[in-house]
Structure 1
Amino acid sequence: MIELVVLDMAGTTINEHGDVYKALAHAVTSAGATLTPEDLQAWMGADKTEAIAALLELGGVAADPALVEQQFAAFRRHLSEVYAENPPVALPGVEAALAELKARGIKIGLTTGFSRDVAAPILTALGWGIGEGQLLDAVVTSDEVAAGRPAPFMIHRIMEATGVHDVRAVVAGGDTVVDLLTGRNAGVRTLGVLTGALDREQLEAHPHDWVLDGVKDLPGVI
């Protein structure tokens, strides 16, 4: 029996219009690094500080800690500006699907490659509360664990916060390959959704239990 569903934010439960891709690309290229779409996609879903460091190195720029910190600050500024102009919204059917799962007694957690200061205003704007009687039971951000995706720590921290002990009772997933790899590393059942940048063939090439059109379809398979 499934007791807990853990989902990514951007591209999985929330439509942020692809702005996180643009902000991450800007943070890397403004430091003088070259960037390919393939490298950018490979690091989507990961902790953004780790992603910036890796993409700088791939793009030919030494990722010393001071530069990474500087470009992460640029990423946050850029994202804040574009979100103010074009606020994120819930993806179609997501709120109804999460409410249905909650009504069945399944707990809901969100994880994200964002830091808490980036994620919190998005959730507030959506009206997604955390705690008893709210849509969400727990949220864990990448700055709150020892390592972001594909390390399993955010999923396990959600399990800890919600009192779920058995990884076999957990479904976790998102719209990127990194999300699927994280679920596999955590030992849970894995979900891919097609509301991000990848198509079915690209997601199904990696370990998964389901690849669905969107989170809206999740209540129908668990």
Structure 2
Amino acid sequence: MISLAVLDMAGTTVADDGLVERAFTEAIGAVGVSERDDRFPDMLAHVRATMGQSKIVVFRALLAEDLAQQANSAFEQAYSRLVGQGLCEPVPGAEQAIRGLRARGVKVAFTTGFARPTQDAILDALGWRDLADLALTPGDAGRGRPYPDMVLTCLLRLGIEDVREVAVAGDTPSDVLSGRRAGASVVAGVLTGAGTAAELSGAGATHVLDSVADLPALLT
């Protein structure tokens, strides 16, 4: 029996529509790397390959520490501004799925690779502050994906007794790896974001779904 569903945000419950790449382009430009820079294509490729991971970790792989911190701050500001402009929509059926799970007694937690201010901006823009039982960022758990820390922190904070009672859903291989490493019995990859079916299956997804809207039926 599943007692907790841990759900990613951008690309899984929240439509991304290229916002991460737009914010990254602005952030990397703020530290001197324009789209015309020879380094830009490889940097963008790295961002795409590491979707779902903590953004400061992504920037640290590309830049020296001081520039990584500047770029991360610029990214959070850019993404929050785009969200504030109304460029943030839920994945169709996501809210209904979450409400349905909670009505059945399943606790729901949001996790993200964003920092707290950006996660809060998304929740406020969608009116989702009270939609889930818990919302965590990498900073709340110690490490972000693909480590299991956020999933396990959700389990501990919400009083779940067994990792086998946990289901995880996300749109990236990092989401899937995080769920598998945490010991969740259901680790579903969804096709509304960055990952392909082959990538999600290759990372170890127990199921690949068209959308998080299909999760309640799977858990039933």
Scaled by the length of structure 2, the TM-score of the pair is: 0.90
* Aligned-partner residue type, residue 161 of structure 1: R
Say which of 211, 215, 220 aligns to 2:212.
215
Aligned to 2:60: 53
For the pair 1:163 / 2:159, whether they are aligned, the reply is: yes
* Aligned-partner residue type, residue 43 of structure 1: T
Structure 1 residue matching 2:41: 3-state secondary structure = coil
- In structure 1, the gaps of 5 or more residues are 57-62
Q: Report the CA distance between 1:99 and its aligned residue.
A: 1.1
For the pair 1:115 / 2:115, whether they are aligned, the reply is: yes
* Aligned-partner residue type, residue 46 of structure 1: Q
Aligned to 2:174: 178
**Partner Cα distance (1:121, 1:197) in 2:** 21
**Partner Cα distance (1:34, 1:25) in 2:** 9
**Partner Cα distance (1:178, 1:21) in 2:** 17
Say which of 23, 41, 47 aligns to 1:35.
41
Structure 2 residue matching 1:35: 3-state secondary structure = helix
Q: Which moved more, 1:79-88 or 1:148-157?
A: 79-88
Q: Report the CA distance between 1:23 and its aligned residue.
A: 1.2
**Partner Cα distance (1:96, 1:48) in 2:** 29
Q: Report the CA distance between 1:211 and its aligned residue.
A: 0.5
C-alpha distance after superposition, 1:158-200 (max 9, x if no partner) = 1111111211000012001110111111111211000003322
Structure 2 residue matching 1:173: 3-state secondary structure = strand
**Partner Cα distance (2:201, 2:45) in 1:** 17
Contact kept in structure 1, 2:16 and 2:193, CA below 8 Å? no
For the pair 1:139 / 2:135, whether they are aligned, the reply is: yes
Structure 2 residue matching 1:208: 3-state secondary structure = coil
- In structure 2, the gaps of 5 or more residues are 34-38
**Partner Cα distance (1:163, 1:10) in 2:** 26
Q: Which moved more, 1:36-45 or 1:89-98?
A: 36-45
The aligned runs of 1:64-75 (5 Å cut-off) are 64-75=64-75
For the pair 1:125 / 2:125, whether they are aligned, the reply is: yes
**Residues matched between the structures, number:** 211
Aligned to 1:77: 77
**Partner Cα distance (1:44, 1:168) in 2:** 26
Aligned to 1:152: 148
Structure 1 residue matching 2:2: 3-state secondary structure = coil
Q: Equivalent pairs: percent with the same residue? A: 39
Aligned to 1:10: 10
Aligned to 1:59: none
Aligned to 2:36: none
Contact kept in structure 1, 2:86 and 2:125, CA below 8 Å? no
**Partner Cα distance (1:38, 1:72) in 2:** 17
Q: Report the CA distance between 1:27 and its aligned residue.
A: 2.5
The aligned runs of 1:181-200 (5 Å cut-off) are 181-188=177-184, 189-200=186-197
**Partner Cα distance (1:42, 1:185) in 2:** 19
Contact kept in structure 2, 1:29 and 1:35, CA below 8 Å? no
**Partner Cα distance (2:23, 2:215) in 1:** 30
C-alpha distance after superposition, 1:34-58 (max 9, x if no partner) = 333542222110001001111x1xx
